[in-house]
Homo-oligomer: A and B are copies of this chain.
Amino acid sequence: MSNPPVPPAGGSCRGSHSATLRAHMRQVEPSDRGYRPRQPRHGAVAAYRGPVSEMTDERTGWLSRDDLELARERLPMVYVDAIPVRVDARGEVISLGLLLRAMPDGSISRAPVSGRVLYGERIRDALMRHLEKDLGSMALPQVPASPQPFTVVEYFPDPEVSGFFDPRQHAVSLAFVVPVHGDCMPSTSALDLVWMTPDEVASDDVALEMTGGQDRLLRLALAHVGVLP
């Protein structure tokens, strides 16, 4: 029975998304967020040991955090963005997965799966690693057969350059839509995961819960799969 079982409305990956977001906002506000004045670059990231993707990268030891900081000021970083989707039996997208996580800009925001490609790592392996890290090991993501991303996102420290913003770095991110057929359980790096319909994802309300231009990235993904409202 491997065909996409649509997650039950009340399943572990789901919930009233605005309620969830508000709960988490409360949870981290105000005390935690108040402790960040001396960490201009990514304080929030440092404050929340668990949910930050860089932690995992660091542990793999390809680059010390200091070296990474240095390189980030000099070179564009290679990233992948993966939009997890549920599809029906004919492959049409019926819902999109958004994580709730601490973002580089210090906010707690909705976001797709995203992370760095390591030295020596294949794009496919980076996608699998970040998907597993964020959705758990039972998510069974189906990374597309083609290496062609549906778009390339250019994140800059200056939000004016491209509209995509990352205060830490210039990142060039290959973006993929990834059907997910198994059970998702947001793991180390995310506070929560919700599934939304294309209409919800494209709504102004949800756009406001995203940062760095990722609401726009999600509309590009909706367009690519033909379900942009």
Chain A positions near chain B (C-beta within 8 angstroms) = 1-3, 62-63, 67, 71, 73-78, 85, 87, 89-93, 117-125, 127-128, 140, 142-152, 154, 156, 161-162, 170, 172, 174, 177, 179, 181-182, 216, 219-220, 222-226, 228-229
Contact = CB atoms under 8 A, between A and B. Distances in A.
Nearest to A172: B78
A117 B1 CA distance: 27
A23 B204 CA distance: 34
Given A71-B75, A145-B177, A216-B228, 5 more contacts: A71-B74, A85-B145, A142-B142, A145-B179, A147-B226
B152 A151 contact: no
A193 to B, nearest CB: 19
Contacts of A179: 142, 145
B67 A63 contact: no
Contacts of A74: 62-63, 67, 71, 119
Contacts of A3: 140
Contacts of A146: 150, 177, 224-226
A75 B91 contact: no
Contact of A120 (B170, B177, B220): B170
Nearest to A161: B122
Contact of A93 (B119, B145, B177): B145
A214 B55 CA distance: 36
Nearest to A227: B145
A185 B142 CA distance: 23
Contacts of A144: 91, 144
A70 to B, nearest CB: 8
A224 B219 CA distance: 11
B117 A76 contact: yes
Nearest to A169: B119
A71 B69 CA distance: 12
